[in-house]
Chains A and B, each alone.
Chain A
């Protein structure tokens, strides 16, 4: 019997705001525990929520990007449950009226385009982070109250690949939209996958299993593939799939049961009385629409059309937004498009692991590239020298300084070049004979010798041309 996968995905994504969803405390990542909190985040008595306007703006932007219908009357609800990571004893969310509903994204799997419907997008606040030790639990409230959007897809995906493509698509769109940092490994984007399988041709859904907190796009795919096999094996051996929550174990690449679903929990949702419904003004909506950020497809189009980059290079720059941003920064400073793209793709990416946590521009000053290209253009240095200059750029030294300190200028003076040519040809009579016998590689050998003699400073193009001329005169 053949089975088909049915997959729906819930994504929680932290919004890129300066302050929290309902308090003025700063949003932070990797700060000292419990330093980015105020009385509201700790739910001290008497505190009240104040809605973060920027969070609303970002949520509206996300709604626009995912073609969601926007509910302009923003309403919030309480989700009640007692837990130590939830200071108020309830989470403020949008249970009854999500800001966005009925949208979609188009994904691309193996060249085939597919539309995945998005059921809803709503705003809510994050919980605190807990660290369970042997006999104590430590709580860091820095994360408590961080703005989130939850994006819930329809069960439209049918393979691990599609699921991964969906998550990746959302990830890049949210990143391009400046909506979130979307760092799955750091938890600023978290992914829960609902999976069931059914025999092909059957309409009814199978029993749903939820896999929580997948921390990378690859793991989404792996977890689904594993789960597909697991459920298939169960069904084929006459057993049934149990409705439960599982997690993905990276080490064994398997899914492990966390808890069985014992009926659904009653969260006693009711409208949040401390936030009156807020109407999204025409101005705000117009602002959001007028400032919709460029999406990956648009950037790709711009790179291939306007910048005339080939598709492979354009794709590479677009897939790595930070690199693409850096590319544009250099181009804007005057770097030639093709040259910049070549350098970034072949040289910078080769050593990108040295970048660490810094941004590209913190790592290598973008003006260095402009300087480097200028030196190349004016033939002050050879492209071979340029690579050495680049290694110094990585250490924070400007190209001009390197050229000066290393005495690294290219010799294009023809009389000096000629003397080297004569010297080398005289010293290698066999090469002359080889050349006469039609062995062109003699030229390369002689140029190499001149390079050695000039300590790499000879202008290679000019040298090559002069060697040819000298040989033909012999």
Chain B
């Protein structure tokens, strides 16, 4: 036992040392966590996560540890309880070593809006890691840890996974409890994670999922043994190639990598089917997302008023205290989104904005469901290009150019269907990813196909070498 303790402690400390070395380069850690007590409590645990150093995105609450959600507003907030996913980690014997940076409150796709500054891509420090779960993605990609929690409201796990060349997975909505996770938009928020191998993603799902009475949206639908099922071949699998997305991608290298992989899948017995959605309809994904996400977010974050916790600014009246606190506490992008959200919720606008967006969401969900009539999974490149430069002006802006190719993964949030990104190849030493979406509750098929594709890419365990 003593020996085991030493081994685990050593491993945890080594990981923390590694994180410290990476910090000046990646800027991906917000807080480090003491491990001694955790190791003591984990010693009797067994299974694939026992003794494994893991990282939480800093919007996940771990009692006694700061949880800032990368916002100045929560700079001094120490969690008063454990998120359900943290309790699950404890049960599995995982050792939480750090909390990672995110776009402020999870709102963004670049991880440059974090209160602690931008996170750098481990393959090229002048590039973004993607967001909002950029800290977790960069740290898994660098090899510092094998598993890190992320959250995904638009594509906040699956996009950074693509930019960082790792596996990014979010299961069905409600599969992993959201209790104790600082929200962005409740109806779209998913808890998921990053790994460098599909197998570990499957193993982790067995341990982190399950109905939670503290989250009324969590599901009780039993999860099949997704680990045992991984070995099933691609024969008889029907892979839907998402035409709208491929058509919108102008980068030939991305297209070539993608179709090469599809050809290999076909050789393994998979049936490739072109599928598509009404072009006008798919262009509504981003505006629909913006309205719903910002409306929900505005209300979700009304608790951050400086009265009970968090940073606090003085004022002559309650209203002034709240106004000052929120003005200083949030970054400009957040304030902009709250204004949009609040506008969408106003009585005279709600019909035209929120309610309309919700109806369009329903149409998009139905159209997605329809595409699944003939296929098991829908696949497309997770991004049309490699990770953009940190100073790329197009980041987090609405742009017609990227309307479809860069935002279609939101369908996974609208539907709540499970979705995974895995690396599919390299361009100029920078990774590109492929995204898979399956039907709701069918993580088994999703992970099976991802596991088989991972074999074909030969990129299992892909790791970035960060020049220290």
A: residues with CB less than 8 A from B are: 39, 42-51, 78, 80, 82-84, 87-90, 137, 139, 266, 268, 270, 273-276
Q: Write the nearest CB–CB distance from B305 to chain A, whole angstroms.
A: 6
Q: Is the CB of B217 within 8 A of A276?
A: yes
Name which residue of chain B comes closest to A266, CB basis.
B347
Q: Which of B160-168, B180-188, B377-385 is the interface stretch?
A: B180-188
Cβ-defined partner of B186 (8 Å) among A44, A50, A84, A274: A274
A-B contact pairs, 25 of them (CB 8 A): A42-B309, A43-B308, A44-B303, A45-B61, A45-B182, A45-B304, A46-B67, A46-B83, A46-B182, A46-B183, A47-B179, A49-B216, A50-B215, A80-B298, A80-B302, A84-B305, A84-B318, A89-B301, A137-B318, A266-B346, A268-B299, A268-B350, A270-B350, A273-B187, A273-B217
Is B354 located at the chain interface by the 8 A CB criterion? yes
Partner of A43, one of B79, B214, B303: B303
Nearest chain-B residue to A139 (Cβ)? B307
Q: Is the CB of B299 within 8 A of A46?
A: no
Within 8 A of A (CB), among B63-102: 67, 69, 74, 77, 79-81, 83
Chain A nearest Cβ from B16, distance in angstroms:
25
Residue of A nearest to B182 (CB): A45
Q: How many chain B residues have a CB neighbour from A under 8 Å?
A: 46
Chain B residues positioned under 8 Å from A43 (CB to CB)? 303, 308
B178 at the interface (CB under 8 A from A): yes
Given A44-B309, A45-B61, A268-B347: A78 in contact with B299 (beta carbons within 8 A) = yes
Q: Which of chain A's residues have a CB closer than 8 A to the CB of B302?
A: 80, 82, 88-90
Residues of A within 8 A of B186 (CB): 273-274
Q: Do A46 and B216 touch across chains, with their CB atoms under 8 A apart?
A: no
Q: Closest Cβ of chain B: how far from A30's Cβ, in Å?
A: 23
State whether the Cβ of B322 lies closer than 8 Å to any Cβ in chain A.
Answer: yes
With known contacts A45-B67, A50-B213, A270–B295 Cβ distance under 8 A: yes
Q: In the complex, what distance in Å separates the CA atom of A266 from the CA atom of B344?
A: 12
- Provided the pairs A39-B81, A268-B345, A270-B299 are in contact, do residues A45 and B217 lie with their beta carbons within 8 angstroms? no
Extra contacts besides A78-B299, A87-B307, A270-B354 (17): CB < 8 Å: A44-B61, A44-B80, A44-B303, A45-B61, A46-B83, A47-B179, A48-B215, A48-B216, A50-B216, A80-B302, A87-B308, A88-B303, A266-B346, A266-B347, A270-B350, A273-B187, A276-B217
Main secondary structure of the interface of B (DSSP, over half): loop
Chief secondary structure at chain A's binding surface: loop
Cβ-based interface call for B342 (8 A):
yes
| Inter-chain contacts of A87 with B (CB < 8 A) | 303, 307-308
Chain A residues whose CB sits within 8 angstroms of the CB of B81 once the complex forms: 39, 44
Q: Is B197's beta carbon under 8 Å from chain A?
A: no
Q: Scan B314-342; emit 1 where CB is below 8 A from any A CB, else 0.
A: 00001100100000000000000000001
Q: Which residues of the partner chain B approach A89 to less than 8 Å between Cβ atoms?
A: 299, 301-303, 305
Q: Considering only CB atoms, which chain A residue lies closest to B355 in the complex?
A: A270
Q: Is B296 located at the chain interface by the 8 A CB criterion?
A: yes
- The chain A residue sitting closest to B71, CB to CB, is A45
- The reply to whether A90 and B216 contact each other, CB–CB distance below 8 Å, is no
User: Do A48 and B178 touch (CB < 8 A)?
Assistant: yes
Contact pattern, B 149-162, Cβ under 8 Å of A = 1, otherwise 0: 00000000000000
> Which of A88, A266, A270, A276 is within 8 Å of B216, CB to CB?
A276
Residue of B nearest to A43 (CB): B303
Chain A residue nearest to B302 in the complex (CB)? A89
A45's contact among B77, B214, B295, B350, by CB below 8 Å, is which?
B77
Q: Which residues of A contact B216 (CB under 8 A)?
A: 48-51, 274-276
Contacts of A46 in B (CB 8 A): 59-61, 67, 79, 83, 178-183
Q: Would you list which residues of chain B between 177 and 236 have a CB under 8 Å from chain A?
A: 178-183, 185-187, 213-217
* A48 touching B179 in the complex, CB below 8 Å, given contacts A80-B299, A87-B308, A274-B217: yes
CB of A123, distance to nearest CB on chain B (Å)? 14
Task: Write the chain B residue with the least CB distance to A38.
Answer: B81
Quick one: closest A residue to B292, CB to CB?
A: A273
Query: B350–A50 contact, CB under 8 A?
Result: no
Give bound CA distance, A36 to B450, whole Å.
48
Going nearest first, the 6 A-B pairs with the smallest beta carbon separation are A89-B302, A268-B345, A273-B186, A43-B303, A273-B187, A45-B182
With known contacts A48-B214, A48-B216, A84–B307 Cβ distance under 8 A:
yes
CA distance A82 to B79 in the complex (A): 23
